[in-house]
Structure 1
Amino acid sequence: MQNDESGHDHDQGLQHDLAIMEKRADRRQLLKWMAGASLVPLVGCGPEGSDGLLTQATEDELLACTRIPEEMAGPYPGDGSNGANALLLAGINRSDIRTSIGGATGVARGIPLTLTLTLVNRAACAPLAGYAIYVWQCERAGLYSMYSPGVQYENFLRGVQVTNAQGKVTFTSIFPGCYPGRWPHIHFEVYPSLASISNFRNKIATSQLAFARAPCQQAYTAVGYQQSAANLRPLSIERDLVFADGYANQLAVTTGNNTTGYTSTLQFAL
């Protein structure tokens, strides 16, 4: 059976896919149950009039300190696991990932996006400093550098940053496009240090972050995103190949507009 990032198990058909999705537990509901079981002393200790349930702020905090789900790297990682390795390029340790490096000269066009990831530990939700985070994404037409026809000799929209004392890394990118069968997303891998990124076997986590529908719909009204707008219309994040089993702690908080650009933030734990 061939399973690719378009979300189709080609040999077994749609009914097979749906059966698998129906069996997956919703992570947010599971988290609520676990929180209710483990935070029994908090019941009845909330503000006057509280019904004893988790507040939204408490739930969001728990989600942000829950281990990020392990996800597929997909067919376009560029980490050396399937040939191409952007992590060996001089200059890959960078915050602005819109241009190609290493002799390539391409530039990814699109609405500016500032992406900030915050890495914490699960035990105390404390920042983790000194970890290398590699991100990669498609451009506004849904193409991946190093792989897709037309941009296979480029390496833009790929880069590494090392978490600071607050556990943060920030990338300057573009709002990603949407290609058939996949909800808009950005991939990332976590490595224990910058020195370890040359070998994909050193990674300690692989995941993806998702965008809410509203900012995607707004961004895709911009020039160059027409195909992404068409690709998004029939999709649902709840039925996405990756996010169907829950996406609560993978959903980036996104603000902004097409004129000034967008800002997306996500905190996640290891």
Structure 2
Amino acid sequence: MTDHTFTRRSTLAKFGGLVAAAAGGRALLTDDAAGGNLAVESGAVSCVLTPELTEGPYYIAGEKLRRDIREGHKGTLLSLRLRVLNASTCKPIKGAAVDIWHADAAGDYSGFGDAAGSRTFLRGIQKTDATGLAVFTTIYPGWYQGRTVHIHVKVHVGGSVVHTGQLFFPDTLTDTVYKASPYAARGLRSVRNADDSIFVNGGKRGLLALKKSGAGYVGSISMGVHK
């Protein structure tokens, strides 16, 4: 696959609050880009500016442009459907580069610690289509000491970073997934959402909407950003 590097020139979405919010002030969560667009166009929902959350220490620039980021790592299948909207107009943003990275089932990030030998697994970039949608094939993330379960995300538009955030999972679902191999071998995780120092600062708006799909799950969210 082709490596594609994006330069971090600026972070534009700094406000972390709501733009105009109907539907109880929640971000639009959808697993169907077309349905989500219709909901926005009909006025059933309004766009929300997605909160900025810390990049964390495990970012590596220049990740691969690809959909499947597993590289043979075992875990429960997870299909991610991430849609990027202009928070000012609610219109999808085509051609945005969505950049994700997360820990494996053992709690390791590629390029660091015990996993320093590889700098690419469970990392990747996809560009959004005409509906603002980017899709990834990955695994349900593992946990590591001091943090709840999460996926890191950056959104690049025109070479600039317009959003840095984290995506989260309902604790009850994580409890279910972690009963199976390879997660079960690690024992109980140390932090749940309500005790996580990042989640309590806006993480509720980064909760994925998840549904069962075969042996895995589909996780969806729409992210409102400023271009």
**TM-score, L = length of structure 1:** 0.65
Do the aligned residues in 1 keep the contact of 2:27 with 2:48 (CA within 8 Å)? no
Q: Note the alpha carbon deviations across 1:138-169, whole angstroms, 9 max, x for none.
A: 00111001113145324110110001100000
Counterpart of 1:205 in structure 2 is 163
Amino acid of the residue matched to residue 204 of structure 2?
A: A
Tell me what 1:262 maps to: 217
The DSSP-based 3-state class of the residue aligned with 2:65 is coil
Aligned partner of 1:244 among 200, 211, 223: 200
Answer yes or no: is 1:226 the counterpart of 2:187.
no
Query: Equivalents in 2 of 1:120, 1:203: separation in Å?
Result: 14
Using the aligned pairs only, state the percent identity: 30
Per the alignment, residue 95 of structure 1 pairs with 67
Please say if residues 93 and 161 of structure 1, whose CA atoms lie closer than 8 Å, have aligned partners that are also in contact: yes
Q: Identify if the C-alpha distance between structure 1 residues 64 and 255 changes in structure 2 by more than 3 Å, giving closer, same or farther.
A: farther
Secondary structure in 2 aligned to 1:217?
helix
Q: Distance in 2 between matches of 1:98 and 1:239?
A: 29
Higher relative contact order (CA closer than 8 Å, sequence separation 6+)? 2
Q: Which runs of 4+ in 1 moved over 4 A?
A: 58-64
C-alpha distance in 2 between matches for 1:264 and 1:95: 15
- The whole-number CA distance in structure 1 between the counterparts of 2:143 and 2:53 is 18
Question: Which has the larger share of strand?
Answer: 2
Residue 178 of structure 1: CA displacement? 1.1
Provide the rounded CA distance (Å) in 2 between the counterparts of 1:78 and 1:60.
28
Q: Quote how far apart the aligned CAs of 1:239 are.
A: 2.6
Identify the match of residue 131 of structure 1 among 73, 79, 96.
96
Structure-2 separation of matches of 1:203 and 1:228 = 35
Q: 2:27·2:223 contact (CA, 8 Å) conserved in 1? A: no
Task: Indicate if the aligned counterparts of 1:64 and 1:249 stay in contact, CA closer than 8 A.
Answer: no
Task: Find the counterpart in structure 1 of residue 117 from structure 2.
Answer: 152
Aligned counterparts, 1:70-219, within 5 A: 70-79=52-61, 86-87=62-63, 92-99=64-71, 107-193=72-158, 196=159, 202-219=160-177
Q: Report the residue type matching 1:130 in the other structure.
A: G
Q: Offset of 1:254 from its aligned partner?
A: 1.1
Matched to 2:220, the amino acid is T
Return closer, same or farther for 1:64/1:141 CA change in 2, 3 Å cut-off: farther
In structure 1, the residue matched to 2:191 is: 235
Q: How many residues align?
A: 195
Residue identity opposite 2:201 in structure 1:
D
CA gap of 1:181–1:218, structure 2 versus 1, over 3 A, is same
TM superposition shift of 1:249 = 1.7
User: Residue 106 of structure 2 aligns to a residue in which SS?
Assistant: coil
Amino acid at match of 2:86: N
After superposition, the Cα gap between the structure-2 partners of 1:150 and 1:245, relative to the gap in structure 1 and judged at 3 Å, is closer
What is the rounded CA distance, in whole Å, between the counterparts of 1:64 and 1:110 in structure 2? 35
What stretches of structure 1 of length at least 5 have no aligned partner? 1-26, 36-53, 80-85, 100-106, 197-201
Separation of aligned partners in 1, 2:173 and 2:198: 20
1:238–1:246 CA contact under 8 A, matched in 2: no
**Aligned CA distance change for structure 1 residues 178 and 168 (closer, same or farther; 3 Å):** same
